[in-house]
Amino acid sequence: MSGKSLYRPWVCLQGNLVFRPEKQLFDGYPLPRALPYYRHHLPIANSDTESGALDQGILTLPFVFEDYVLDQQRRELTLRGQVVAVGPQVFDLLLQLVSNRDRVVSKDDLLNAVWSGRIVSESTITSHINAVRKAIGDTGEEQRLVRTVPRKGYRFVGEIKVGETGEAPQPDGPGMGERTSSDPTELVLPDKPSITVLPFHNLSGDPEQEYFADGMVEDIIAALSRIRWLFVIARNSSFTYKGRDVDVQGVGQTLGVRYVLEGSVRKSGNKIRITGQLIDATTGTHIWAERFEGTLHDIFELQDQIAESVVGAIAPQLERAEIERAKRKPTESLDAYDYYLRGMAKLHNGTREAIEQALPLFYKAIELDPEFASAYGMAAWCHFWRKLNGWMTDRPREIAEGARLARLAVELGRDDAVALTRGGHALAHLAGDVDGGIALLDRARLLNPNLAPAWFLGGILRALRGETDAAIEHLSHAVRLSPVDPEMFRMQVGMALANFFAGRFEPAAAWAEKALRNLPCLLVSVALLAASHALSGNMDKAKQAMQRLHELDPSLRVSSLKDWLPIQRPEDLARFADGLRLAGLPE
């Protein structure tokens, strides 16, 4: 928020480098300038003290081969203008080969450049080379672009043109955030959901209140930027529209985004009202609108609360909109992210049939993008859900496979809150590592404090560890973040679990019934309902719940509870066993 940021105008081209020798300083946030061939906003350096190529005003232009463009600045591979989905390590590997196309790149070179010197297996390198070839339309048999040199390494042998993307660079193009009618370039939408947050309109009639509206929008942008599956336009690009009447669809085309969030702020006395609406800029369709109100006792706390509420509300809406978009795409044009979204739609459903359909979709996403950490996490989570509900047919094999996928998710997704959340939670159940799972979910919340699943799945693990008050706090916060979440039944069963282990059997039964109204086949909710009623003395209801439990999983026994749920405190396990035994569960 403080200090200066350094940007320099484009002045000349030399080889594949762009030199910008003049300094222009601006207060506050970085003021992006456009890459000439994209006219796309890009932050260049963060301070006068930054070293390296950026501080010297040097940016590399893209590599062009056949119909592909490998853009180092945007970290994108495109084919005829369409983004090709590749994982970060696959991208780095391709970039290393292309950048060193004049020589054979050894496996040691690749380990240092792509894996930071970590030792990985031969099969890992081979699978990544195969993924590179697949991304650029090559094969191991043809080796048209990437050639294997036996016992030496690999070499990129395609013809490279540097910076020739079909558009002449222009040092002094139109102003920031503007397009001229003669501009033939239209930004290609990123391969993941993309959004810009426009400055909120100040309806108070008090110019002194501008800072509040601007600060809140900055907080929303910062919070959205923590969501790794979301492409968020930088603050300064969005703020070029401040004080202007805008056409939302035009904004989407200019900034290259699918979604636009706009809103207004109105202050009256000590009260303030914020409205927001989310729009699909490609169609002009309104997806979501909401109003938030508060008092100005602590203005910064209010900014934080509203930003948290807005992000918590729109993140699920964005995911749903993307899921619906993926459903409408023809099967032959689906990419890894589309398969992932289709799998998510099934996972939200929670039924046995839906999970059986979701799992192969996540595996397909992994096949298309071997670095897709969140897809590994969701696939692992499907195995956990099958275990939880007694649906596994080969239990040892499926548990091992789920644990394998979960470990890959957290290894590949160290900075991916979604991968850490699903992978960490799955590991707690499939490998029995509840403490490790909680640590991973705590990291996920640090990476993205507005990710509701990180809160409610972390709350469930805390309930299993006996931390019932903390569990209820986490679960309640998840509901606040996402009050109409498609996974609400999971939050409700978490509340049932926490209340049961706290000895509050009537609230536990009430929460279990709520979960069952949303998902009648949820085995753990039925078990909690039976045990809660039994320990409360409501034996008729306990027997009814036990009959339903037996229908859902005839093999469940008191002696198998420890293998079913990773309940950490012996007294909690004993209480659960006593309740189910009273309700009629066989030993």
Supply the DSSP string of 53-110, one letter for each residue. Answer: TTTTTEEEPPEEETTEEEETTTTEEEETTEEEP--HHHHHHHHHHHHTTTSPBPHHHH
In DSSP terms, 265 is beta-bridged to: 202, 274
User: What DSSP state is assigned to residue 333?
Assistant: G
CA pair distance 416, 501, nearest whole angstrom: 31
Percent of the chain with pLDDT over 70: 79
333 neighbors 354 (Cβ within 8 angstroms): no
Q: What is the DSSP string of 137-190?
A: T--TTT-SSEEEETTTEEEE-S--EES-SSS---SS-SPTT---TT----PPPP
Whether residues 343 and 298 fall in one domain? no
Phi, psi (rounded to 5 degrees) for 28: 80, -135
User: In the chain, what's the furthest Cα-to-Cα distance?
Assistant: 83
- Which residues are CB-neighbours of 452 under 8 A, at least 6 positions away? 312, 315, 316, 478, 481, 482, 485
Query: Would 390 be classed as within a structural domain?
Result: yes
Supply 448's token pair.
């993205």
374: its two tokens: 């969140």
Q: How many CB atoms lie within 10 A of CB 184?
A: 7
Stretch 205-210: mean pLDDT, rounded? 69
- Say if residue 3 is in the same domain as residue 79: no
CB 149 within 8 A of CB 100: no
For residue 261, give the 3-state DSSP assignment. Answer: strand
Same domain (yes/no): 9, 45? yes
Could you tell me the pLDDT band of residue 495, with boundaries at 50, 70 and 90? very high
Q: Measured between alpha carbons, how far is 67 from 170 in angstroms, rounded to an integer?
A: 23
Q: CATH number of the domain that 537 lies in?
A: 1.25.40.10
**Within 10 A of 119 (CB to CB), how many other CB atoms are there?**
7
Is there a single domain that holds both residue 250 and residue 210? yes
- The phi, psi pair for 193, rounded to 5°, reads -55, 140
Residue that wins the pLDDT comparison between 515 and 182: 515
Number of structural domains in the chain:
5
Mean pLDDT of the chain: 78
The dihedral built from the CA positions of residue 167, 172, 177 and 180, taken in this order, carries a sign that is negative
Helix 452-464 with 299-328: angle, nearest 10 deg: 100
**443 lies in the same domain as 347:** yes
- Whether residue 472 is contained in a domain is answered as no
CATH code (residue 159)? 1.10.10.10
Q: What local confidence, expressed as pLDDT, does residue 191 receive? A: 66
Tell me what pLDDT residue 58 has. Answer: 39
Tens of pLDDT along 353-388?
Answer: 999 999 999 999 888 888 888 899 999 999 999 999
Q: Which residues pair with 266 in a beta bridge?
A: 273
Are 312 and 392 contained in the same domain?
A: no
Q: What is the pLDDT of residue 76?
A: 85
**pLDDT over threshold 60, residue 7:** no
Residue 256 lies in a domain: yes
**Residue 190: how many CB atoms within 10 A of its CB?**
15
Which residue range is the domain that position 104 belongs to? Answer: 62-166
DSSP 331: G
Closest CA to 279 of 299, 259, 265: 259
* Per-residue pLDDT tens digits for 111-167: 888 887 777 767 678 878 988 998 898 888 788 899 988 888 899 998 888 755 443
Per-residue confidence band for 187, with pLDDT thresholds at 50, 70 and 90? low
Q: What is the pLDDT of residue 146?
A: 92
Question: Which of 322, 337, 355 represents a domain boundary (last residue)?
Answer: 322
CA distance 574 to 492: 23
Q: How many CB atoms within 10 Å of residue 411?
A: 12
> Considering the domain boundaries, does residue 405 fall inside one?
yes
Reduce the DSSP state of residue 279 to 3 states and report it.
strand
Q: How far from each other are the two terminal CA atoms of the chain, in whole angstroms?
A: 62
pLDDT in tens, 102-116: 899 988 888 888 887
Residue range 241-257: average pLDDT? 82
Q: What gap in Å lies between CA 274 and CA 213, rounded to an integer?
A: 9
Residues 431, 410: Cα–Cα separation, whole Å: 14
**387, 422 in Cβ contact below 8 A?**
no
Q: Any residues with CB less than 8 A from the CB of 330 and at least 6 apart, and which?
A: none
DSSP-assigned letters across all residues of 283-301: TTEEEEEEEEEEETTSHHH
Percentage of the chain lying above the pLDDT 90 cut: 32
358 vs 272 pLDDT, higher one = 358
Nearest CA to 132 among 173, 102, 93? 93
Residues 387 and 259: their CA atoms lie apart, in Å, by 38
> Which tens digit of pLDDT belongs to each residue from 549-579?
999 999 989 899 999 999 999 999 999 999 9
pLDDT greater than 50 at residue 507: yes
Mean predicted confidence (pLDDT) in 502-526:
92
Per-residue model confidence (pLDDT) at position 312: 73
| Structure token pair of residue 489 | 């039944």
What gap in Å lies between CA 9 and CA 59, rounded to an integer?
A: 12
DSSP tag of 200: P
Based on the fold, state whether residues 97 and 20 are members of the same structural domain.
no
Residue 272 lies in a domain: yes
What's the pTM value of the predicted model, to 2 decimals? 0.58
Size (the chain), residues: 587
Best CA proximity match to 41, nearest among 211, 227, 178? 178
- Do the domain assignments include residue 404? yes
Same domain, 541 and 552: yes
Burial class of residue 309 in the structure, from the number of CB atoms within 10 Å of its CB (0-12 exposed, 13-18 middle, 19+ buried): buried
Least confident piece of the model among 42-51, 299-308, 453-462, 483-492:
42-51
- Answer whether residue 565 is part of any domain: yes
Q: Is residue 15 part of a domain?
A: yes
The pLDDT-based confidence of 2 (bands split at 50, 70, 90) is very low
Task: Assess whether 415 and 506 both reside in one domain.
Answer: no
Query: Same domain, yes or no, for 54 and 73?
Result: no
Q: Are residues 160 and 131 in the same domain?
A: yes
3-class SS at 511?
Answer: helix
Last residue of a domain, one of 419, 449, 479: 449
Report pLDDT digits (tens) over 296-333: 666 666 667 777 777 777 777 777 777 776 666 665 55
Q: What gap in Å lies between CA 89 and CA 134, rounded to an integer?
A: 14
Which of 298, 322, 346 is the last residue in one of the domains? 322
User: Phi then psi for 105, rounded to 5 degrees?
Assistant: -95, 120
Please give the backbone phi and psi of residue 293, each rounded to the nearest 5 degrees, phi first.
-130, 155
341 and 318 share one domain: no
